Chains A and B, each alone.
Chain A
């Protein structure tokens, strides 16, 4: 188990450094259009081929990784933390507090959030840099994405309410938010981490679809999300397997995160 953890750490460090050094490593700028090499297959010059505008896919993958690898986990962390605090308070406090929070969660689950993003796009100036708009996008996704997880964490916290663990902590004078964060949250670690893992790819894909309404990463800046949009042509994939590279990197990174922070200790 320890060895696989080391390998995972190694891979993550490698991916991080390579993407941070994209400016040095990438054979060409992410926006450069090689107009004589449209949709070229993988070759010595273009390791992963070129896209429909003749841009080097390998360079775009390097630059795209940089943005997504930093922002998606950050947004996932934000939404998970909110879920822990809100779900934890509801489950632990019970009573009217629990009822109100439960209704708020249900409310959050049923509102058409797409329009919030449209409103934000209308408020944001058109010349806002792609980076600003993508940070805004990820922040809002983090802020509205906590509801499903909060419900599950609430259920967990509620079942812990009368457990020996919590009774013991309360006897020692630990109360309120401190009790939730120090005692209840660690006990719910598996659920919380599962939420975190699921949120990362969900947000990366969410960013891609929001790119379509003018939020998120705009051309020519690449992100995992808009690189994955290339997959929507299933026939192209059969001819050019290298289109799958962003998906492969994403799967590897998410799996490595998961191996690195173990969700449980098996007792044999």
Chain B
């Protein structure tokens, strides 16, 4: 009899799991803005993802584009124009109907140069205004001043605003709406009753009634609350905490493989930096940079700092980015002998355990990194020991983030820097401001008037070429070459690619962790919770 009851309960649970419930998880900080056009931090991005409706969505699992508010689209004029066919009969959360006028309004607002929107800037490859032509209430063409590489993918980031709703940004087209916000404490999103999507059975999505987001900075406490069952998921969890969770309950720990995040270090090659000339000469030498790269034991870093949940990185593109990754590249192998040989080619001498350059200067420099990131501090300590083996004295200095940014972007008073790098987008055009020698984010020597080296000039040429090309195979081959030059010249020493780690409660159904943000709740409208009482009685 008892067993019969249990079986019945299990069946009921799997049936009822399909709807209702309140999903709880944590945000690491207050969202800085509720205006979807201005989003730049993770918390605001979460809110935008869960509440905003977009024309095209990048499926986080397949990395393919899927129609959302637009049923179809067509790019023309060498990537300058895009025409959308929109879904009919939809309305915003407040009941205002959705038309092509809203898309036009959103694009004009987004591209307003005075707004300085990061999303808007990614559409701006040349100065000038965006033009929109509304052909019908469900058809619109958008024309940009210059070709935009990977144009359609960029619309994944554009949440459509209503041009007419009196509620402004609060009227949304996504599965949820923000109903309550207590700064510093929590944020409540209720299901949007007017959301347009239905499941295969014709049931209106989303399944969840509510998402409760607690603002919680401390990751130890977040993990504790997760293991106590107070929150249902941790979207990204540090490797150290993850390894603890694996020991406690392996079923809840999810490793989705390599993510888009990598860790890297670079040397200050800015000629105006207040450093002695001989040091600048070291950092400008390819042999020096490659030697240091082969002196670092990446496998040990992966094993010790990331508990095996990372892999040695070969270049700027993670293997998670299936299309753009250059599979021919291999991470620089750990080989101290090769490192010393390369250094000798530049006239360095290894004597009595210390390395001296051609003029007898002891090779000693500092590595700055941001404070409070334990993995990075450990990584720095390991690099320090690896470099000591070839006679280099590395001084580690942890700085608070703003002080660090001031040094790397304005005063240039630093020698080497260790930081992480997150790709917002799969398309390499999103990295234009990193690779162009004239760009602000060309960290090792930003804002160059003319390229300082032939290889930087070559990268500039290839990046412009790939951006101008429409044919993706041509773009891919250009960008493959960029990756090869970067790996060969090593302006950035890529260290590791972190795995995408998350923790998911067994109560949460339909979760399919992906390696692209937002890893666990990218299909938020399909997520569902097993009803509590049933789950308990089923046990």
Contacts and interface: CB of A to CB of B under 8 A. Distances in A.
B378 A52 contact: yes
A218 B396 contact: yes
Contacts of A232: 220
Given A122-B403, A127-B395, A234-B220, 15 more contacts: A31-B384, A35-B300, A126-B368, A126-B413, A126-B415, A213-B371, A213-B398, A218-B396, A218-B397, A219-B377, A219-B384, A220-B381, A220-B384, A220-B396, A232-B220
Given A127-B365, A219-B377, A52 B304 contact: yes
Given A35-B304, A118-B403, A219-B384, A235 B364 contact: no
A32 B400 CA distance: 27
B399 A53 contact: no
**Majority-rule SS of A interface residues:** loop
B180 interface: no
B155 interface: no
22 contacts: A35-B300, A52-B240, A52-B378, A121-B403, A126-B366, A126-B368, A126-B413, A127-B364, A127-B366, A213-B400, A213-B403, A214-B371, A214-B400, A218-B395, A218-B396, A219-B377, A219-B380, A219-B381, A220-B384, A232-B220, A233-B220, A235-B244
A33 B403 contact: no
B382 interface: yes
A53 B300 CA distance: 10
B282 interface: no
Interface string B352-372: 000000000000111010011
A53 B403 contact: no
A127 B380 CA distance: 15
Interface string A116-145: 001001100011011000000000000000
B63 interface: no
Contacts of B371: 212-214
A232 B241 CA distance: 13
Interface string A183-215: 000000000000000000000000000011110
A129 B413 CA distance: 17
Contacts of A234: 220
B407 to A, nearest CB: 9
B350 interface: no
Interface residues of A, number: 26
A126 B414 contact: yes
A169 B421 CA distance: 70
B333 to A, nearest CB: 17
Q: Which of B303, B304, B413 has most chain A Cβ within 10 Å?
A: B304
Interface in B381-407: 381-382, 384-385, 388, 395-400, 403
Interface string A36-64: 00100000000000001110000000000
B400 A31 contact: no
A214 B304 contact: no
Contacts of A32: 385
B368 A53 contact: no
Contacts, number: 71
Contacts of B414: 126
Q: Which of A35, A129, A219, A235 has most chain B Cβ within 10 Å?
A: A219
B354 to A, nearest CB: 15
Contact of A213 (B303, B366, B382, B399): B399
Interface in A93-131: 118, 121-122, 126-127, 129-130
Nearest to B377: A219
Contact of B372 (A121, A129, A212): A212
**Considering the complex of A and B, which 10 residue pairs feature the smallest CB-CB distances, nearest first?**
A126-B366, A212-B371, A214-B397, A214-B399, A219-B381, A219-B396, A213-B400, A214-B398, A127-B366, A126-B397
Contacts of A213: 371, 398-400, 403
Contacts of B382: 33, 53
Nearest to A129: B395
Nearest to B398: A214
A213 B303 CA distance: 27
B304 A121 contact: no
A38 B366 contact: no
Contacts of A214: 368, 371, 397-400, 403
A122 B398 CA distance: 12
Interface string A18-41: 000000000000011101001000
Contacts of B368: 126, 214
Q: Which of A33, A121, A126, A234 has most chain B Cβ within 10 Å?
A: A126
Contacts of B240: 52
Q: Which of B364, B378, B397, B403 has most chain A Cβ within 10 Å?
A: B397
A234 B241 CA distance: 13
A40 B522 CA distance: 39
Q: Which of B377, B395, B396 has most chain A Cβ within 10 Å?
A: B395
